[in-house]
Structure 1
């Protein structure tokens, strides 16, 4: 199985890259034992100038061509963007603009995004799903949004979302029906404790 990971984080280190790496690890864990997984990461910040030049000239550089072939030739795709001004980043959108409109047809995709506040979590459903719907890709049911508060004390809930989404992508890429993970029981007092820690 070839897994392509597109991450549009701009900083180093980047929470967007961290989320992408965790989603890739969860997908690998969801693949049947003994099935090899080849993971190729496309860091858009490294080819940002190439993407812009391609938009202006219509000719991809060798590095951009390699990135495009990595994404279009993969069996499954993980796409993660930071949220800027309540939407996906311009670099993220520009990269998918240079792809042929039919190049992702039927490809299983796991959608992810990172942002400073929980208020932007709907970017997954209001921007990313329509984009990949237009490209005729096949997004898994669970998208993963990680706000700043999800890291650290809130990572338990984030990790559960990551594992569920990774399992869904692995199942879809393998042509198996997705098996929903059995919900784990969390005592109410523990939920209250998590909320009170995040509100501090």
Structure 2
């Protein structure tokens, strides 16, 4: 028996909370605050239950973002709570996402960043705290404009040090601190 689709408003609320408390609140991405404050983030909750259906949503959103005025929509979060909940399957889908960018001739214009409740970097243990820099309440594909990323990196001194600073932040916070943020998705 299929479980009912999650409430879109609740999914977006949980994602916004994660963005505000973790991504912006812990300064994991120093570029996120500006687009959040300007309401330039598009939140799309996909009801896809298969990777094929998610790919359709992804391609639609890639085209939408490519066509949209960056002053109105600079980035898109595609939240897909019903598909690719297994991190290995999700991770394999990222190759499909990159291939779609190429097929649509949007590589060099857009890029896909990845967030997942069970995110795990290569050569880390499942519960290593540095994985939490990319742990979101639901599986999420983040579409970014290359031009916006380039501008943000140029404006941020030592952007190449962000990853290392994030690891330091997470190590100081620890698992208990992360849990206190209350970012787990509701089942």
Shorter-chain TM range is 0.3 to 0.5
Structure with the higher fraction of residues in strand conformation: 1
Structure exhibiting the larger radius of gyration computed from Cα positions:
1
TM-score scaled by structure 2? 0.39
* TM-score, normalised relative to structure 1: 0.37
